[in-house]
Every structure is written in structure tokens, then in C-alpha cells.
Structure 1
Amino acid sequence: MKSNNPVFARSEAFNGRGNASPYPAYGQESSAPQYGDPSDYGTGVDERQADQGNRMTIDSVVQKTAITLAVVIASAAVTWYWTGDAITESGATTDAVGKLYLALMVGSFGAFALSMVNSFKRVISPALVIAFAVLEGVALGAFSKIIPIVANVEHGIVLQAVIGTFAAFAGTLAAYKFFDIKVTNKFRTFVVAAMFGMLALGMMEMVLSFFGNQVGFFDFGTMGMLFAIGGLVLGVFMLILDFDFVEQGIAAGLPERESWRAAFGLTVSLVWIYTNLLRLLAIFQSD
């Protein structure tokens, strides 16, 4: 089960290099001992059933994802209150604005670094996933406060974006299950290439901004709107890949530890959808 998704590509279990499942694949001969040799008789305990509790299940994925998202939300809430009121009746508060941009930069770069580590790490580390969630929450807390201020809109769009993100998650999951969406290698390659392409464009825009030249990907004009729409659609495609990997991983009997990798992938996709949806709402509601 070869994966082109960088989040899952380093997992031996997801790529068929590990011994995640003791069951032979369909059409293959089993290497299990035959009953004809008394020396191979067991103690009467079904080892497959005994090992079942250590495998990834839908419940374990849901639990780990809930924990990761809870950390993101808690960290974002702390950041939101720590930065205070950036805009008051007397104007912008320099101290609060400085805190916002500090939190945004530290959280963004820290979360990006840990996302690369988690994506290419062979053995997933729950501690690193939680650390990523903390830094991602710091970035989101600052981002969620900055966007309404820059776009000059009400902060109520933050709640709208949160509701829209979970609606997109539920809708994508329903479509994946009810329409029996099949993920092909071409689709995986396209989504991963598009994801890295958008990251590259975002980095280019950031570098150009240092020299006073911008294309407009992060602005609130037409170019920014198109970029955000493309990011939102890509986020939905990323969710489809996540659902496919979770479904295949459970079927293959992956170790329970891999639930953290699935939770990390789902969190990345949801954050991607949220940030683009928040920008779209700001664009639509700005003057």
C-alpha cells in the first residue's frame, strides 16, 4: 500500500514494509505454521485476537484526533487572550499588535518545522504531534485575530470559519462514504504536488513582501480570493486522502500508534481549510 502523501509516506506500515498485519494478502500463501507439526502447536490463545487491541481502529483515530484538535483550540484560545485588544477606541495598541505578530511568526515557523519532522519521521512521535498542535494553535490564535483587523471586519467571522470548517469535514466524509470515492495514485500525486506548489507560492509571496513586491496571494483582492478558493478546494482533497489512508490502514491492521499519524494528517487538513475559509470570509465581508 504505497503512499505518495508525505504525512504517511515514511510509515513502514502504510507502505507495506512493516509487519503491520499477520494476515496474508488475498491470493498469497500464508506463512503461518501448519497444524500437521505438533511442535508448532500454540497454547490455545489466539495471538491474532490478543494483538487486536494494539491495532489502529476508527475509535483510536477519533480519540487521537480529538486530543490533537483540543490542544490546537486551547492553545489558540490562550494566545487570543494573551495578545489582548489590538484595536481600542483610541486606535491600535502597539504592544498588542507586537504580541500578535510575534505569536504568528513563532507559531507558524515552529509548526511548519515540526510538520516536516512529523511528515518524514518513520516512527511517529505522539509528543511531537502534541508539540505541533501547541504551536499550530499559537499561530491560529494570532492569525484569527489579525485577519479581521486587517480586513476591517467583525471578529464574528472566526466563529463562522470554525463552523464552516467542521461542516466541510462532515460533508467531505459523507461524500467519501456515500459516493464510495476511490482514491487513485494519480489523484494522490496531484493533491500532494498541488499542496507543495501552494506552499512554494506562499513562501515566494512572503520573500517578495520583504522587498516591497507582492503578487497579491495574501491580499483581499481578486488574486487573494482565487488563491484562497484554490486552497479551500485543495484542503477538501487533502481530507479525502486522509480518509482513504485511515480506511486502508485500519483494514491492514496497522499498529495503534499510527493513529497519531492519522490524527496529525487530519489536523493539518482541517487547519488548511480553516485558514483559507477565514480569508475568504474576510474578503467577502470587507468593504
Structure 2
Amino acid sequence: MRSRNPVFSRRGFSRDNGYAGFDAAPQAGGPAVATQGNPYAQQAGNPYAQNPYATDPYAQQGAGAPPAPVTTAGRMTMDDVVARTATTLGILVVTAALSWALLPVDDANINRSYGIGIGAALVAMVLAFVQSFKRRPAPALILSYAALEGVFLGVLSSIVDNRIASGAAMQAVIGTMAVFTAVLVAYKAGWIRVTRRFYGFVMAAALGFVLLMAVNLLFAVFGGGDGLGFRSGALGVVFGVIGVILGALFLALDFKQVEDGVAYGAPREEAWLAAFGLTMTLVWIYLEFLRLIAILNSND
């Protein structure tokens, strides 16, 4: 399965001719099995896809020979994903808090602070693309992305909170946490089942959403005002809700990717990519909540 997150689209999480693990039944912690649904089976350089008895001196001595122990060292675990994600989000929160405190958004400084925030966002986007096309995860790039994204979120949140809607940032944080928790519970309970049809629907909806937002931005840049109005007024509220829902669906895809990676014995370094993808999805949801709150309060 290919995630909409670029970090999952070319790594071991998706080396399955398109849809890994949708209908497979992997066992967490077990050796990778060379099957069509296993994205790590027969992968070059993956020691976990090898026959565990290949170096067993008893392997050719009959059925009664003791098997060689199968080691799980070096494989990604859920604890690895949680730890890396907590580190990445922790750095993002710290830099967001610092930028909020150190970059004032009063009338005299708002342009400078906003410019710094936009610059940080652009550099973070470049780092995200660089990491996405690297063959191996680079923790320094991922953490730098988180730090710069935090600067942007801190400035933007401060502007919305201080100049449009008091308390908007905390409301957006609570909304993001609520969506994450709800999707996680629904996914673990089996209420959300990630299938090929589910994946196709999410990707088609995301493509349409992004294209509409791009067209709206072009009209706003060259025509002035709010463009086609997709990000303001009643239409802005509708598209804000759609954006939050899409973020929730992306979370389900990310959970599936992490689950498959753990179950199929992905290398431990892949936990950084999982953290990267989850962080980008949570940032998406937070921004949509923040935009939605700003629109609702500006219409009062």
C-alpha cells in the first residue's frame, strides 16, 4: 500500500507492487515471509527476509535437528515508532512555543514575524522533499523539519490566537488530539478497515481537494480577495471540515503502514519515517482546525 505521505511511498512500507499487506495476515515479531503481500520479503539488503535456517549447521541434518533461533534485533517495534514520534513532536512543540514567545505579532512586528514563519515553512518543505527522496531516513533532516515547522506553526498560531480568536490554538490542539484518539480507537477496534477501495477513495478525494485549493490560491494571487471563496465564509467552513476529515483518513492509512512495518519486520530505522509521516499528518489536521476556527470567528 502506498501512503499519501511521500516518506512512505518509496520505502519498504510500499515495496509490494502497490498495495502491501491489505489482505495479508502477518505476525508481529515473526520473520518476514516471501509472499506477494509482504513488502519486506526478498528485499535487497533486508536481513530479515532471509531464511532463518540458512546458517544453521543443523539445517541439513533432518527434521529432528534443533532450529536456529530467530532474532528480532534491529527490527522496528511499536515502541520505536512511539519514541521517534514523541521526539519529533516534542521538538515541534518546543520551537512553536519559542517562536510564539520570541516573535511578537503586534502591528509593528507582525510582518517581520510572519515573514520568518513563512520562510521557516518553505525551508521545512524543502527538507521534507529531500528526506522523501533519500534512500535511508536521516534523523537530522526529520528533526530539522520538525523544528522549522514548529516555528511556522508558532507564528501562525500566535497571529490567529491574538488577532482573530482568543484560545484558537488550544482549541486546535484539542481538536487534533481528539481526532487522533478517535481514529486510533476506531482503527484498533476494526471499525476502520484499510482496503484498496478505501485507499483509492482517500487518494482521489485528496487529489481533488489539493487541486481545488491550488486553483483557489491562483485566483487569490492574480485576482485578489479570497479567490473563489473556498477558504472563507460558508464555503471555507465546508472545506475546513473536509480537510479535517481527510486528515483523519490519512491517519488511518498511516496506522496501517506502521502496523505492516512492525508485523513484517521492517528495519528499526524505518521508525523515523513513521514518525515523519505521522507528524506531517498531525500538522495537516492542526492547520485545518486552526483555519476553521479562524473562519468561524471572523464571521461573528
Q: TM-score range by the shorter chain?
A: 0.7 to 0.9
- 1:206 positional shift: 3.0
Structure 2: where are the runs of 5+ without partners?
A: 18-28, 42-49, 62-66
Question: Which amino acid is 1:172 matched to?
Answer: V
- The 1:162–1:241 alpha-carbon spacing in structure 2 relative to 1, beyond 3 Å, is same
1:249 aligns with 2:298: no
Q: Does 1:23 align with 2:32?
A: yes
User: Residue 203 of structure 2: SS of its match in structure 1?
Assistant: helix
- Aligned runs of 1:159-178 on 2, under 5 Å? 159-178=170-189
Aligned residues: 267
Distance 2:143 2:256 in 1: 23
* Distance (Å, rounded) in 2 between the aligned partners of 1:200 and 1:80: 31
Cα deviation digits, residues 237-273 of structure 1 (max 9, x gap): 0100011111111000001100011101111111111
Q: What is the CA-CA distance between 1:112 and the residue it aligns to? A: 2.2
3-state SS of 1:53 partner: coil
Alpha-carbon separation, structure 1, partners of 2:13 and 2:293: 40
**Pair 1:198-2:209 in alignment:** yes
1:111/1:208 Cα in 2 relative to 1: closer, same or farther (>3 Å)?
A: farther
Q: Secondary structure at the match of 2:223?
A: coil
Give per-residue Cα distances to partners, 1:12-56, cap 9 Å, x unaligned: 354259xx984325799x854374536xxxxx973x32xx23111
Matching residue of 2:10: 10
* Higher share of residues assigned helix: 1
Aligned to 1:229, the other structure's residue is in SS state helix
Q: How far off its partner does 1:279 sit?
A: 1.8
Equivalent residue for 1:79, pick from 99, 113, 125 = 99
Closer, same or farther in 2 for the Cα pair 1:217/1:82, shift >3 Å? Answer: farther
TM-score normalised by structure 1 residue count = 0.82
Distance in 2 (CA, whole Å) between partners of 1:216 and 1:149 is 24
- 1:276 maps to what in 2? 288
> CA offsets per residue over residues 176-230 of structure 1, 9 Å max, x none?
11135321122223323433443333333333332233112332x1121111111
Determine which of 50, 60, 72 is the counterpart of 1:37.
60
Is 1:109 aligned with 2:98? no
Give distance in 2, aligned partners of 1:283 and 1:257.
40
* More divergent stretch after superposition (173-182 vs 128-137): 173-182
Tell whether the 8 Å contact from 2:3 to 2:253 is kept in structure 1 after alignment: no
Per-residue deviation, residues 101-140 of structure 1 (Å, max 9, x unmatched):
2123212222222223333433222111111111211111
Residue deviations 1:163-185 (CA, integer Å, cap 9, x gap): 12111111110011113532112
Partner of 2:246: 234
Q: Which residue of 2 aligns with 1:179?
A: 190
CA contact (8 A) 1:9 1:120 kept: no
Aligned partner of 2:128: which letter?
S
Q: Which amino acid aligns with 1:12?
A: G
The aligned residue for residue 41 of structure 1 is: none
**Are the counterparts in 1 of residues 76 and 268 from structure 2 also a CA contact under 8 Å?**
yes
Question: Taking structure 2 as the reference length, what is the TM-score of the superposition?
Answer: 0.79
**Structure 1 residues 165 and 180: CA distance shift in structure 2, 3 A:** same
In structure 1, list runs of 5 or more residues that go unmatched: 39-43
RMSD (CA atoms): 2.8
Amino acid in structure 2 at the alignment position of 1:142 = V
Q: Sequence identity, in percent? A: 39
Do 1:56 and 1:250's aligned partners in 2 also have CA atoms closer than 8 Å?
yes
